Structure 1
Amino acid sequence: MSDAPRVLFWRHGRTAWNVEKRFQGQTDIDLDPVGHAQAERAGRLLATLRPDTVIASDLKRAADTAGYLGRSSGVPVEFDKGLRERFGGSWEGLTAAELAERWPAEHPRMEIPDGEHISEVGDRMVAAVDRGLAKTPPGGLLVIVSHGAALRVGISRMLGVPDERRELLGPLSNCCWSVLQARGQTWRLMEHNAASLPEPVVLSDDA
């Protein structure tokens, strides 16, 4: 087994606010029935990867999603507030259409006037991943259960992508995941926005 650690970043299942296209931020929204079904299915799949450590945001939609993996894998779920979604200030609870109407300049750039700066989100996400890796054995699998915006900036940071260019990485759908694996001192993106287990990779010359 390789000593290179892997980190699987898993977005929570669907909520009613996802359907309504409302900015959730740190408002503590429950999974809807579809979200629970998504998390149960994905949890059973991910359990077959035999995760060593599972750490989740303490917001209910992520915590409940992680619970399905914990029950399927037998790995206890730990919680880290550093994995919470970006705080959205006065944007939380508003629809995308309302945000575009009220903040026509800021909304396309996701510049929340009274919200958390994206650099702060990146800092705390990377710190939380580091704490998780410290609890994971060499060559092990760490599963991080979090939220769409927070995951995208966290993954981008680990790949060396500047915060302002995080849109280079496509969004994560509800209950989908991405996998990073270490190679020396850098990280490589092995999967993105996946909903099924990976196929074996036939190594190329530069692998």
Structure 2
Amino acid sequence: MTLEHLIVLRHGETEWNAAHRLQGHRDTQLNARGRRQAREAAPSVVALAPEVIVSSDLMRARETASAVAVLTDLAVSTDPRLRETSLGLWEGLTRDEVEAGWPDEWQAWRTTTSHAAPPEGESRWQVAQRAVEVVRELDAGPARRALLVAHGGLIVGLTGLLLGLPETSWSTLVGVGNCHWVALHRMDGRWRLHAYNAGLGGVVLPTEDDEVAGL
């Protein structure tokens, strides 16, 4: 195991984020505010000294990763295993539309076991299992500090899995804000949480919408 520090950065804002529309695997791009967020966050992320950058292959994550990489001599590699949760039938719908159409499923997905999933979509557990493969592969390489650029729902699942949190408690982790990050470091062979939902404004208290990882 070589990794000592892991930073997981959420992408900047998209028009779908602004409209509270669920994206999942839909390949949306950053809006003007999201591009500004990425530029403004980049120096702070670079200061954490990543030695390798791996991004989700979705455009909103790639654009965010590029804003960081341009301040370094690092190339960005992409990996589809870092994609957001597949939200199945909910993709493209607003939060209000999903709550109206699937009230019980929505509540279960938000507040119960990590194995709950949207209709025809993925659970947090499934997402974490594919994302952690990327971490394990990095762990077999030379880098001590890695930056992953990904998505809110994936970050919740991956954080819960790496910290060894009970699966029933993953839903207590709020969604990470746009261009905010989670920082973990390894001590005595175990991952420890250094910062959660960190960003230029410090730790940000979530709004009701931010509590839904995957928007």
TM-score (norm 2): 0.85
Does 2:152 match 1:152?
Answer: no
Instruction: Deviation per CA, 1:59-110: give whole Å up to 9, x if none.
Output: 0000110001111112111111110001111100100000000001001122
What CA deviation, in whole Å up to 9, does each residue of 1:138-187 have, x standing for no partner? xx210010000011100110000133321222220000001010112211
Partner of 1:184: 188
**2:28 pairs with 1:29:** yes
Other-structure match for 1:202: none
Larger radius of gyration: 1
Q: Which runs of 5+ in 1 are unaligned?
A: 199-207
Gaps of 5+ in 2: 110-116, 203-215
> Are positions 1:41 and 2:40 aligned together?
yes
1:107 aligns with 2:106: yes
Q: Distance in 2 between matches of 1:124 and 1:73?
A: 28
**Equivalent residue for 2:123?**
117
TM-superposed deviation, 1:129? 1.4
1:51 corresponds to: 50
Which position in structure 1 is the counterpart of 2:137? 131
CA distance in 2, matches of 1:101, 1:7: 38
Partner of 2:198 in structure 1?
194
Moved over 6 A (4+): none
Question: Is 1:56–1:80's contact at 8 Å kept on the other side of the alignment?
Answer: yes
Shift of 1:197: 9.7
Identity %: 32
Aligned residues: 194
State the shift of 1:7 in Å: 0.2
CA distance in 1, matches of 2:13, 2:128: 23
CA RMSD of aligned residues (A): 1.6
Distance in 2 (alpha carbons) for counterparts of 1:31 and 1:196: 18
Offset of residue 58 of structure 1: 0.3
Deviation for aligned residue 1:195: 0.7
